[in-house]
């Protein structure tokens, strides 16, 4: 622990000293490095798996497909049909979870607010499970929705309701109580879990298999249609997040101070809640509940480049994408040809990290 603390301190101090308090150029370098890493990680993700396909074969297949040539059937199917959508989905989900976490932490002014911890993911999962077991709500059928379209929408609604309820419960006259937020989050997660449990009773065998997937989290079901099903949620989510980076910075000072510096506090809070719901809802809809990305990634990046959301949010998106790709590569190679659910991998990494956070900053929860 002491070593960790020293390392942390040393990291912050060296970053600060080097940049004389202005960490913006440092942030840009980190973002640049993360982009390079993401490219490398994506290639790695395309080559890793049960079927051995070399990096040059991957490039060859991609190149041939691009120019409309005839690629090797097997590698084409594996790379473009299975691994590519999985990689893209990993990037989207990882980025969403990390950015969703960072936005939520700014909204609650608290580094412990993580969509997975405080029940937002559970709420999204409950809504999705409801659609799986009980079917699509009538109004959506009237609009011609299939279960495929309905899932992200349901998960988004579930996430929106939980985030909003949590905010209403934990915030009184502009002050958010950490204890109330965490406890209310536990209560909401428990309620959502109980409701999901009831649904399990009425589910049939096929549905039960789907439900297991929700609780552990996995990228295994990745297909191109899945990717395109969540894009309408994730893209507006990212745009919203980017537009409100200033406003979120203001919120970090406090609601009154944000207003005084010229920020439309009500609008920023509303957008932040919607953004968290979009990002978490979309991720849960396609990959189930993957925990800890939303708390670990923003925390580490804040130590490196500071809490300025203009840099933090893009850096979070990139780091989240990298982390999830790495976790996914582990999840499908460590027990190959079987697969470990990715939620287990992130929990094994994230659980201890979270405990360490609590031990290191005991005062944090009393804020």
Partner 1 sequence: MFELDSVTVAFGRSVVVEQTSRRFENNRFTAIVGPNGAGKSTLLKLLTGELKPSSGCVLFNDLDIAGQPAHLLAGYRAVLSQSNHLSFPFSVYEVTGLGLQGASVDRKTRSRLIRQALEGVELSGYEGRLYQQLSGGEQQRVQLARVLCQLEASAAPDDQKFLFLDEPISSLDVRHQIKTLQIAKQYSRQGLGVVAVLHDLNLAARFADEVIVMRLGRCVADAAPKQAFTEDTLEYVFEVGFEVSADSEDRIRVSLRDIIDPPDMSAAPRRLI
Binding of partner 1 by 303 (CB under 8 A)? yes
Q: Within 13 Å, how many C-alpha atoms sit on residue 247's CB side?
A: 18
Distance CA(156)–CA(237), nearest Å, equals 11
Binding of partner 1 by 6 (CB under 8 A)? no
The only residue of 308, 315, 316, 322 in contact with partner 1, by rule CB under 8 A: 308
Distance CA(345)–CA(290), nearest Å, equals 9
- Report how many residues bind partner 1 under the rule CB under 8 A: 34
Binding of partner 1 by 26 (CB under 8 A)? no
The only residue of 2, 3, 17, 205 in contact with partner 1, by rule CB under 8 A: 17
199 versus 246: smaller Cβ distance to partner 1: 246
CB of 110 to partner 1, least distance (A): 6
92 versus 297: smaller Cβ distance to partner 1: 297
83 versus 299: smaller Cβ distance to partner 1: 299
193 versus 254: smaller Cβ distance to partner 1: 254
Report which of 289, 306, 304 is spatially closest to residue 350, judged by C-alpha positions. Answer: 289
Site residues (CB under 8 A) for partner 1, limited to 214-273: 246, 249-250, 252-254, 256-257, 259-265
Binding of partner 1 by 28 (CB under 8 A)? no
Contact 360, 303 (CB under 8 A): no
Helix axes 84-107, 224-243, angle to 10 degrees: 30
The only residue of 4, 6, 10, 22 in contact with partner 1, by rule CB under 8 A: 22
Binding of partner 1 by 20 (CB under 8 A)? yes
Report which of 44, 87, 52, 50 is spatially closest to residue 72, judged by C-alpha positions. Answer: 52
3-state SS assignment for residue 122:
helix
Contact 45, 325 (CB under 8 A): yes
Report which of 75, 103, 84 is spatially closest to residue 240, judged by C-alpha positions. Answer: 103
Distance CA(170)–CA(88), nearest Å, equals 35
3-state SS assignment for residue 176:
strand
Contact 305, 297 (CB under 8 A): no
Binding of partner 1 by 110 (CB under 8 A)? yes
105 versus 283: smaller Cβ distance to partner 1: 105
CB of 332 to partner 1, least distance (A): 36
Binding of partner 1 by 302 (CB under 8 A)? yes
> Residue 176 forms beta bridges with which residues?
171
Binding of partner 1 by 7 (CB under 8 A)? no
Q: Which residues bind partner 1 (CB under 8 A)?
A: 12, 16-17, 19-24, 109-111, 246, 249-250, 252-254, 256-257, 259-265, 302-303, 306-308, 364, 367
């Amino acid at each position: 622990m002491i070593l960790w603390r020293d390392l942390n301190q040393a990291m912050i101090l060296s970053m600060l000293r080097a940049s004389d308090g202005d960490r913006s150029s440092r942030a840009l370098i980190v973002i640049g490095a993360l982009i390079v890493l993401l490219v490398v990680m994506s290639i790695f993700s395309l080559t890793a798996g049960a079927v051995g396909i070399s990096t040059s074969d991957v490039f060859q297949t991609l190149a041939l497909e691009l120019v409309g040539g005839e690629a090797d059937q097997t590698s084409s199917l594996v790379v473009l049909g299975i691994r590519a959508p999985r990689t893209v989905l990993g990037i989207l989900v990882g980025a969403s979870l990390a950015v969703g976490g960072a936005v939520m932490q700014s909204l609650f002014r608290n580094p412990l607010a993580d969509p997975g911890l405080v029940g937002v993911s559970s709420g999204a999962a409950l809504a999705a499970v409801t659609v799986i077991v009980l079917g699509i709500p009538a109004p959506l059928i009237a609009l011609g929705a299939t279960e495929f379209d309905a899932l992200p929408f349901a998960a988004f609604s579930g996430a929106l309701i939980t985030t909003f309820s949590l905010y209403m419960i934990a915030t009184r006259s502009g002050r958010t109580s950490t204890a109330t937020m965490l406890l209310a989050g536990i209560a909401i997660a428990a309620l959502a879990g109980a409701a999901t449990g009831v649904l399990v009773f009425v589910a049939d065998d096929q549905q039960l298999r789907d439900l297991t997937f929700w609780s552990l989290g996995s990228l295994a079901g990745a297909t191109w249609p899945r990717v395109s099903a969540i894009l309408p949620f994730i893209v507006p989510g990212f745009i919203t997040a980017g537009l409100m980076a200033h406003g979120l910075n203001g919120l970090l000072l406090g609601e009154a101070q944000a207003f005084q510096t010229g920020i439309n506090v009500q609008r920023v809070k509303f957008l932040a809640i919607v953004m968290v719901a979009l990002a978490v809802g979309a991720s849960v809809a396609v990959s189930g509940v993957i925990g800890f990305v939303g708390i670990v990634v923003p925390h580490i990046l804040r130590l490196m480049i500071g809490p300025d959301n203009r840099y933090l949010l893009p850096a979070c998106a990139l780091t989240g994408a990298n982390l999830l790709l790495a976790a996914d590569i582990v999840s499908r190679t460590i027990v190959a040809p079987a697969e470990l659910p990715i939620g287990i991998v992130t929990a094994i990494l994230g659980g201890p990290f979270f405990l360490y956070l609590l031990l290191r900053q005991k005062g944090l929860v009393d804020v």
